[in-house]
Every structure is written in structure tokens, then in C-alpha cells.
Chain A
Amino acid sequence: MRGEVSTAREVLALLRRDLAVLGARPADLAQPWVLFLIVCTLFPLGASPSPALLAEIAPAVIWVGVLLTLLPAVEPLVRADLQDGTADRLLLSPAPLPLLMLAKATVACIAVALPLMLIAPVAGWLFGLPWPAVPVLALCLLLGAPTLCLLGLAGAALVVGLPRGGLLLPLLLLPLLVPVLIFAAGAVRAAAQGFPAEPAIRMLAALALLALSLAPFAAAAALRLRGQAG
């Protein structure tokens, strides 16, 4: 019982500390969604501005935008901990490490994924997605963005700071991210064309559960390896 109380306290302390660190640098928080808005603005400028074409490519553009802006924003959360010695202190916490990693993924969700979840449906509407596809897009973001945070965290814990780690991270994560992209963009496209989106959404939910159950353990194992080397 006492152990559970102290575990809860450690996890809460990590959440408070990481959120306070992010709150101290509000400009960094704005970076992912500003980048996302830029991606969404440049596509119509580069492609033809025909409404039919934009509605057609909207699911792909939005999801690629989410992928490309979210992962580089998750990586610094891990990088900072490895550089300032906080990683060692996480390893030496009496609380179970996978639980602490889950808390860290929660921080990433709040700081990075949540703003994108709010903006992306608006972007979809601006792209002229038909109405039934917009709530589907929001639902897919609700499932897909936390999945990306969890995967990004585990990947970053493994390779960040290694020589050429910056190159390794996208290569490592790519095969894991592709299913999320396929099913999330697929669900939105299906809804836009009047087909049922439910099968793709269910697959996305399955991927989210898989990431939720495995990624914290993968991140914890990766961090232990880093401790062994450092």
C-alpha cells in the first residue's frame, strides 16, 4: 500500500516537473502546430487550388503533416533528460520505469498531440473535406496522435544522442508509423467518399492499444540500456 502511494507520488512529480519545464518555454510548445499550419498552407499553393483536388488529398496531407511535426517535437523531451542527467534519476526512481515512461508519453500527448488534435480537424474543414469526414478525422487523431507519441518516445529513448541517431530514428520508426498513416488517412478518405470508416478506425484503435501496452516497456528497456552504457 505504501509502495503504491509513493509510486503515485513519483509519477505525479514527473508529470508536474515535465509540464513545468514545457510551460517555461511556451515558444517551443507552439512549434509543432505552427509547422503543421505551414504544411497545410503550402500544399494548396503548390498543388492546384481546385476544391475537388484539395478535398481528395486532404486526408493524406493532414496525416503526413501530423507525422512530420509530431515526431521531432517528442524527441527533445527525451533528449533533454539524457543530456542533463534526469534519465539516471528516472532509472533510480522507486517507481516502475514503464509507468514513468507512460507518464512521459502523457506529457507528450498533452503538450504536442493535443494542440494538433484541435487544429487538424479545422484544417480538414478548410481543405473542404465533406462534413461526415471531419468528425472521423477528429476521432482518428484522438486514436492516432497518442499512438505516434508512444512510438516516438520509445524510438527516441533508444537512439537519441547516439552518433547518427537523428538519421536512425526515422528509419527505425518508419515501419511502425506506416500502418497508423494508412488506416488513419484511409478512414478519413472512406468517410469522405461515403463509405463506412469503422473498419479502419477499429484497426487504428487496435494499433493504439498495442502501442499503449508495449511502448512504455520498450521505452523503459531502451532507457536501461542507455544507463548501462553511460
Chain B
Amino acid sequence: MRVARERLEAEGLTVERGDRQLLHGLALVVESGQAIELTGPNGCGKTTLLRVLAGLCLADTGSVRWCGSPIAEVRPEWHAALAWLGHLDGLKAELTAFDNLALEAGVSAPAALHALAQVGLAAAAEVEAGRLSAGQRRRLALARVLLSARRIWLLDEPFTALDVDGRALVRRLMIEHVTAGGMLVYSNHHDEGIGLARRLALPPPIEIGANPIEIGEQPT
């Protein structure tokens, strides 16, 4: 039996958007039981970094590796390990909250109901997602992340649109995930993240032509 330590690593990431350079050779490592919080001003590339890590975007330089292999080579394994929450919730407005979860691959009805209860939406199970409030939709999208039982969560602004209770709930779910050995990378512009996450502050973009600066963690 193969016991490969699960590990997401990125190094030398640089992304160019028009005449601006983002990330400037960023490196990071996440292992089992670790979390990274991405912070930084608007437009500094938090979302872009998450999309590059997920494999939705290609970086102009640098590489992202899952368990040692570039993610392009182990795409099915990487995507089977990954749960994604983008700034769009990825919910179908026409379907009820329950159906949005229960029609996912490999989700049973009791599991979907349990996940709805976990995020405080048990009473809204039969309401169409399009009629939920923005905060409720965010909770529903998080319920789908929970249900997916994936090892690594990439969450783009998970606290957006949530009330105080909702933010506390998300913090608790994230802490439970990480302490159970999961991995987590999330972006955050609220003051309160989770204490056990390492904070990675992204610098502002620079005009191309200036000297790139090395930031972030070096691979260990």
C-alpha cells in the first residue's frame, strides 16, 4: 500500500494580466492538517492564485504540484481531491436547496439533509436556490463543499455575504476540516480568519518592467 504524504506545492508562480504582473514568483506549500489564509488588497491576485492552484488558470511561470506531480499530469486525481468554492456559488437557481445537493454525484438524500442542517438551512430545504438570500446561497455552496468530503478545500472569500453566525459557522467548519487532517487554502479580506491558518499576504500588482520581488514561503 502506497502511503504518499499528500501535499500541494507551488513555486515561482507569476501571472501577467495585461500590463500588470501578479504574484511575482510566489511559492507555497500545504500539507495535511495545514491551512493558508490569503490576504491582500483588492486586485492583488487572491482569486487568480486560487484559480491557478485549482488548475482553472495557467500561470505564466512556475508550477503547481499535487503529491509531487504537476497538476496537469494528475488532473483526475487532483480534481478528485479538491473542493472548490469560487466567488460564484455554482448553484442552479431553478432547483431547491435540497436538489442542489442531492443531485451531486454520489450524494444520498440523508447525507444532503444532514449537510443542510449543518449549515443551518434545514428549514429552507424545499426553497429554490434562486429565492434564497445571498448569505443562504453561500451557506448552501459551503454545504456542497462539506458533502464532497474532499481532502483539500480551495475557498474564495468564504465569509462573503455571511452574517455573524454564518462567519462563526464557516470558521468552525474550516477548523474541523483542518484538525481532521484536511488541507485548506482560502482568501479573506475580513479581519477574522481562523487562528491555525498561516497568513500569506499578497503584495499589490506591479507594472511590468519593474523588478519582480520574491515573496511567500520557500519550499521546505
Chain A residues proximal to chain B, CB less than 8 Å: 3, 6, 9-10, 12-13, 16-17, 20-21, 24-25, 80, 83-86, 88-89, 91-96, 227-228, 230
Knowing A84-B88, A85-B89, A89-B90 touch, does A20 contact B99 (C-beta < 8 A)?
yes
Q: Is the CB of B57 within 8 A of A228?
A: yes
Knowing A92-B55, A93-B79, A94-B79 touch, does A84 contact B104 (C-beta < 8 A)?
no
Interface size classification for chain B = 20 to 34
Extra contacts besides A6-B105, A88-B56, A91-B55 (9): CB < 8 Å = A6-B106, A9-B105, A9-B106, A20-B92, A84-B89, A88-B84, A89-B84, A92-B55, A228-B56
Return the chain A residue nearest B56 by Cβ: A227
For window 93-150 of chain B, which residues contact chain A by CB distance below 8 Å?
A: 93-95, 99, 103-106, 128
Return the chain B residue nearest A22 by Cβ: B94
The answer to whether B86 has its CB under 8 Å from any CB of chain A is: yes
Knowing A12-B105, A16-B103, A17-B95 touch, does A84 contact B79 (C-beta < 8 A)?
no
Q: Is the CB of A85 within 8 A of B90?
A: yes
The answer to whether B206 has its CB under 8 Å from any CB of chain A is: no
Q: Is the CB of A3 within 8 A of B103?
A: no
Of B82, B92, B103, B105, most A-chain CB atoms within 10 Å: B105
Q: Smallest Cβ distance from B80 to chain A, in angstroms? A: 4
Return the chain A residue nearest B85 by Cβ: A85
Q: Smallest Cβ distance from A228 to chain B, in angstroms? A: 5
Q: Is the CB of A91 within 8 A of B56?
A: yes
The answer to whether B173 has its CB under 8 Å from any CB of chain A is: no
CA A227 to CA B52, docked complex, whole Å: 10
Chain B neighbourhood of A86, CB < 8 A: 90, 92
Return the chain B residue nearest A19 by Cβ: B103
Chain A neighbourhood of B106, CB < 8 A: 6, 9, 13
Q: Smallest Cβ distance from B147 to chain A, in angstroms? A: 12
The answer to whether B91 has its CB under 8 Å from any CB of chain A is: yes
Return the chain A residue nearest B92 by Cβ: A21
Knowing A92-B56, A228-B57, A228-B58 touch, does A84 contact B90 (C-beta < 8 A)?
yes
Chain A interface, >50% SS class: helix
Q: Is the CB of A21 within 8 A of B90?
A: no
Checking B54, B58, B76, B93 against A84 with a beta-carbon cut-off of 8 angstroms, the contacting residue is B93
Knowing A17-B103, A92-B54, A228-B57 touch, does A3 contact B90 (C-beta < 8 A)?
no
CA A99 to CA B117, docked complex, whole Å: 34
Checking B54, B79, B92 against A17 with a beta-carbon cut-off of 8 angstroms, the contacting residue is B92
Can you report 19 A-B residue pairs in the complex whose CB atoms are below 8 A from each other?
A6-B106, A10-B105, A13-B104, A20-B103, A21-B92, A83-B88, A84-B91, A86-B92, A88-B86, A88-B90, A89-B84, A89-B90, A91-B55, A92-B55, A93-B79, A94-B76, A96-B76, A227-B51, A227-B57
Q: Is the CB of A88 within 8 A of B58?
A: no
Chain B neighbourhood of A24, CB < 8 A: 94-95, 128
Return the chain B residue nearest A226 by Cβ: B56
Knowing A92-B82, A227-B56, A228-B58 touch, does A3 contact B76 (C-beta < 8 A)?
yes
Return the chain A residue nearest B106 by Cβ: A9
Q: Smallest Cβ distance from A3 to chain B, in angstroms? A: 6
Chain A neighbourhood of B77, CB < 8 A: 94
Return the chain A residue nearest B81 by Cβ: A94
CA A80 to CA B129, docked complex, whole Å: 14
Interface mask (B29-71 → A, CB under 8 Å = 1, otherwise 0): 0000000000000000000000100111110000000000000
Q: Is the CB of A92 within 8 A of B88?
A: no
